[in-house]
Amino acid sequence: GAVVSQHPSRVICKSGTSVKIECRSLDFQATTMFWYRQFPKQSLMLMATSNEGSKATYEQGVEKDKFLINHASLTLSTLTVTSAHPEDSSFYICSASLQGAEEKLFFGSGTQLSVL
Amino acid sequence: KNQVEQSPQSLIILEGKNCTLQCNYTVSPFSNLRWYKQDTGRGPVSLTIMTFSENTKSNGRYTATLDADTKQSSLHITASQLSDSASYICVVTPTNNDMRFGAGTRLTVKP
């Protein structure tokens, strides 16, 4: 079945640094990828929708200059948390959409970001 | 108010027992409704996906039902196992593809 690889799975960084998270669709081309964040015991919250070759569409309240999304190819999207602060500590998950007779959504395994 | 409400928030059952999780939604019109299982610290894994015209769909010990008239869905887990301990998330996708996530039900299966 389709696989989405997300890397790294866990990252600890100092406040003020930037962190890049990669999301790859391993055996299919994903025209659309999604980025979410999840705080403990809360639901997934969609941050942005990323289409290959175009600018990402951000959800209301998500700072596009803070969370940089690049979708340079049909198999790779990256999320960069710039100038990270402790309040950015969260679980970040990506998903990739496989279009077909039935649209399917495959999730990465998530990245736990801890900002000290 | 969230457009997707799940109940209960948490549930504890004994191994081998059955359980049913509920999802009520106000999203309309919708394209599909999905149930996901999410282990702690992992990404969600798809269990079932149903369009508005489907009433039920099974995946092993998981059976999802959908009543589009009352805007309710349920996920029934049969003969629960310890590995079923996870959060179960209901996701409703409207026709404009703007997904709406429920807060999830945290299921704990005890031996």
Write out pLDDT tens, residues A29-87: 887 899 999 888 777 888 998 888 888 889 889 999 999 999 888 899 999 999 999 99
The tokens of B92 are what? 């409703």
Higher pLDDT, A39 or B75: B75
Closest Cα in chain B, distance from residue A42 (Å):
6
Choose from A21, A24, A42, A105 for mutation: most chain B CBs within 10 A.
A105
Cβ pair A107:B36 closer than 8 A = yes
3-state secondary structure chain A: CCCEEEECCEEEECCCCCEEEEEEECCCCCCEEEEEEECCCCCCEEEEEEECCCCCEECCCCCCCCEEEEEEECCEEEEEECCCCHHHCEEEEEEEEECCCCCEEEECCCEEEEEC
Instruction: Give yes or no for residue B1 having a pLDDT over 60.
Output: no
Closest Cα in chain B, distance from residue A107 (Å):
6
Average pLDDT over residues B89-97: 83
User: Pairing relation of β-strands B105-110 and B10-14?
Assistant: parallel
Q: What does the pLDDT look like over B9-55, one tens digit per residue? A: 999 999 999 999 999 999 888 888 999 998 887 888 889 999 888 99
Closest Cα in chain B, distance from residue A61 (Å):
15
Query: Model confidence at B103, in pLDDT bands (50, 70, 90)?
Result: confident
Looking at beta carbons, which residues of chain A come within 8 Å of B102?
43
Q: What is the DSSP letter of B87?
A: E
Higher pLDDT, A43 or A17: A17
Higher pLDDT, A75 or B94: A75
Average pLDDT over residues A20-35: 90
